[in-house]
Structure 1
């Protein structure tokens, strides 16, 4: 298929990885970078406008849409695929000439941070909504979505793979991720226990004075291949979930083991399905259980490395790359409605594919 793909195209972004996944799956892909709207450069006029008004700069939105319009006219896509494009003009996206319009939501669509009033007003007009949250499937249907498909998050082999260590030292425990209110207190408590044996990297952590006072190594975010290099310097890599998104798995659930790191994460049904506890990962529910795991890792480094290696094999062999997710999405588009499993069933009752419906509408128009 010919896919006009709208999403953030910066190096290391999940949107870029999924776009590459569609290309690797054999589709022709043209990418329009939405970063100037979704993540404007700090202190730039669009950034200042967004901070002052809590809206995206209209001139930045217009520039992205002008690119989409030009690309659509030249490329004549089968699919317009929008990766969390909630801050763009929804009707203009839906009016883009294409046989099918698909919106991908990597985060909880019940969380106000991940949607917009305009997106909600047009959500039912998208031919397909793809979500990485199982709990969103029924919620999207109840909100009137035409069709919903669930796919898990993924890893990108271009970025997430075992890497050589970059120094003689080795951190016992580490976390790479955003500083969030639901993580802050627990991270500070861990750092007070493990001090310089702990590494914390990600946006916002350097602005936590209590964390910096613990002796833990605190640094900014890391992306792309640098992510795997940091994973290699940590014995136990924490996989923490976002409670605001009601996460039961996250991108880190795949990225950490794919990079060869030991997965030490919160216990959920999805995590238990992905990896076997104590064999391919370590799962915990309470802080006391986490401390027991870290104590074991400190005294059994070779066994901890063996568990990490088993987790790496499981994730790699089970097909969790972005190209695998791209194939799942295309399969859900082409699957006959009556044959669709629960979680993928379009609201239409016609025994035809979404692509077939879209082509018929286009022909009738």
Structure 2
């Protein structure tokens, strides 16, 4: 099948991983990236805050130029925040079903006007794919025709664990790791600081942490900027425990880290939610907490018990594969929903 794939073409992006999964499934994938129109971080911030409204004419023209020589059986839009009604009208001329895959919270309020253009374009998609915790009624309210809710996914190739722990570079080994971005209103810094003050040996990787008001207390535990590729895999697999945090503003009940951690061979230690409890048997395949105090108790217990920690890690590794939430699995389910 010929698939016209519209999404981020960066080799470390989740969008690119998903496109490669479709290729591995045997499909021809023509990948075009409208984000190339955002030539600077300042331009990106401007359009993010205005819902990409000022960019709509450029995006539509960009798509017209890119689709001249393609004849797809399916059009796959990953993310979709740059594409408004004009862009969808352009894609409709190809007379192929159009699917939107969005892992964020396009009907939420955390990101202000970011998804304004996307929401106006929802009626023009044949199928909208959203995270499991999203209420399909919210998308139907904006005119979505059909909604499919799925788990977040790992990538079978990009997140493949190292064959032997000895292959993991020593700079990516740790006792308790948190890999993620500092966010102004999420209080991740306060949470980790409480763990540190309780004696938990926390290592932090991620973007924007020097912006935290608690940076002076955290910087001794900071191991570096955002990770990608094999470094990302190494930091998860090289940790005894991996802390998984959610975004309240994004209404998360699970994230990509919920499945990437266990697939990579790490032990998931995350906030207790209905979806996490549906995915994993608590204290057998993953461990959960309601607050920092409980997380501290869980970490102390597991760091002191190598056998239990290893049993949980192995069980989580097996369970996430049984869940069939890899990119290839999810892509197959989506194509089946579209009768391909």
Aligned: 1:111 with 2:105: no
2:182 maps to 179
Q: How many residue pairs are counted as aligned between the two chains? A: 329
8 Å CA contact 2:193, 2:217 repeated in 1 = no
Q: Structure 1: how far apart are the matches of 2:82 and 2:171?
A: 45
Structure 2: runs of 5+ lacking an equivalent: none
Aligned to 1:311: 316
8 Å CA contact retained: 1:12, 1:223: yes
Q: Aligned equivalents of 2:205 and 2:190: distance in 1? A: 15
Change (3 A) 1:116 1:286: closer
**TM, length-normalised to structure 1:** 0.82
From 233, 258, 266, the equivalent of 2:263 is: 258
- TM-score, length basis structure 2: 0.87
- Quote the Cα distance in structure 2 between the aligned partners of 1:160 and 1:223: 10
Does the 8 Å contact 2:268/2:286 carry over to 1? yes
CA contact (8 A) 2:63 2:90 kept: no
Task: For 1:207 and 1:191, locate their aligned partners in 2 and report how far apart those are by CA, in whole Å.
Answer: 18
Q: Could you list the runs of 5+ residues in structure 1 that have no partner in the other structure?
A: 335-354, 356-365
Contact 1:151 1:325 in 2 (8 A): yes
1:76: which partner in 2?
71
Query: Of residues 201, 208, 213 in structure 2, which corresponds to 1:204?
Result: 208
- CA distance change for structure 1 residues 59 and 248 in 2, over 3 Å: closer, same or farther? closer
- How do 1:154-233 residues align onto structure 2 when only pairs under 5 Å count? 154-163=153-162, 164-167=167-170, 170-180=173-183, 181-182=185-186, 183-194=188-199, 197-208=201-212, 210-214=214-218, 215-233=220-238
Q: CA RMSD of the aligned region, Å? A: 2.5
User: How much does 1:25 deviate?
Assistant: 2.1
Instruction: Tell me the secondary structure at the aligned position of residue 73 of structure 1.
Output: coil
Give the secondary-structure state (helix, strand or coil) at the position aligned to 2:134: helix
CA contact (8 A) 1:166 1:229 kept: yes
Superposition deviation, residue 318 in structure 1: 2.8
Q: Secondary structure at the match of 1:94?
A: helix
